[in-house]
Amino acid sequence: EPEVTQTPSHQVTQMGQEVILRCVPISNHLYFYWYRQILGQKVEFLVSFYNNEISEKSEIFDDQFSVERPDGSNFTLKIRSTKLEDSAMYFCASSEVRLNTGELFFGEGSRLTVL
Amino acid sequence: KNQVEQSPQSLIILEGKNCTLQCNYTVSPFSNLRWYKQDTGRGPVSLTIMTFSENTKSNGRYTATLDADTKQSSLHITASQLSDSASYICVVSGRGNTPLVFGKGTRLSVIA
């Protein structure tokens, strides 16, 4: 069964360092998303991406965050200068069609720990 | 403000018993409502998606109901198993490209 894959599964970094989280969405999907979940809290939307550009982003997704699809298969989330409060599980997701009609598939997540 | 509220926050039941989880939402205009199962430290996995016109939908031992008039949904789990222990998250989609609105989830523990 096709799945969304994410790497790394866990990354520990020092505050102020840059982090790149990688995702390979399901191959025929056109819409890509990043969500985060701080331990014990609800899943929060970060950004959606379609047709090689950001279509929606939340207040969390400030200038420290960026996304790109460098090679047609990978979808990356970069945090330029990590803060302690960036520690969370980051989930990539993809859908074949727009979310008001389609199924959303999540990856297993990348746990980011900022020290 | 678009919100999704779930109850109870947590629940402990004996293996084999049934349970029902609740979800109330204020998302408008409404497009669909989803229930996800999230095992600890894993990504959410879809159980059901229901649109405005659907009142009930089943996926094995999971049955979701939707009352779009009162903006309420429930997830009923029949004959619970130890592997049902997880968080169950209610997620509501508005129309257009608006982001999904997540509830905080109900943490279910099934014990032997």
Alpha-carbon Rg for chain B, nearest whole angstrom, is 13
Query: Among A1-5, A37-41, B70-74, whose mean pLDDT is lowest?
Result: A1-5
Pairing of strands A110-114, A88-95: antiparallel
Chain B nearest-CA residue for A5 = B43
Share of chain A above pLDDT 70, in %: 97
Contact state of A100 with B34 under an 8 Å Cβ cutoff: no
- In angstroms, rounded to a whole number, what is the distance separating the alpha carbons of residues A22 and A7? 5
> What's the pLDDT at B8?
97
Of the candidates B42, B94, B95, the beta carbon closest to that of A109 is on: B42
Q: Give chain A positions within 8 Å (CB) of B44.
A: 43, 91, 106
Determine what percent of chain A is predicted with pLDDT higher than 90: 81
Please give the Cα distance from B90 to B46 (Å, whole number).
10
- With 0-12 / 13-18 / 19 or more C-beta atoms within 10 angstroms meaning exposed / middle / buried, residue B63 is middle
Q: Is the pLDDT of residue A100 over 90?
A: no
Å from A104 to nearest chain B CA? Answer: 8
The per-residue pLDDT of chain A, averaged, comes to 93
Tokens standing for residue A29: 């999907």
Q: How far does CA A36 lie from the centroid of its chain?
A: 7
Model confidence pLDDT, tens digit, residues A54-88? 999 999 999 999 999 988 789 999 999 999 999 99
pLDDT at A102: 76
Structure tokens at A96: 């074949």
DSSP string for A5-46: EEE-SEEEE-TT--EEEEEE--TT--EEEEEEE-TTS--EEE
Whether A109 and B32 lie within 8 Å, measured CB to CB: no
Considering only CB atoms, which chain A residues are within 8 Å of B96? 100
Q: Is A96 on the interface with B (CB under 8 A)?
A: no
Identify all chain A residues contacting B34, using CB atoms and an 8 Å cutoff.
104
B62 and chain A in contact, CB less than 8 A:
no
Q: What is the pLDDT of residue B2?
A: 84
Look at chain B and count its residues: 112
Tell me the mean pLDDT per 10 residues along chain B, length 112.
Answer: 93 97 93 94 93 93 96 97 97 84 96 96
**Which of A23, A42, A59 to substitute to test the interface with B, most B CBs within 10 Å?**
A42
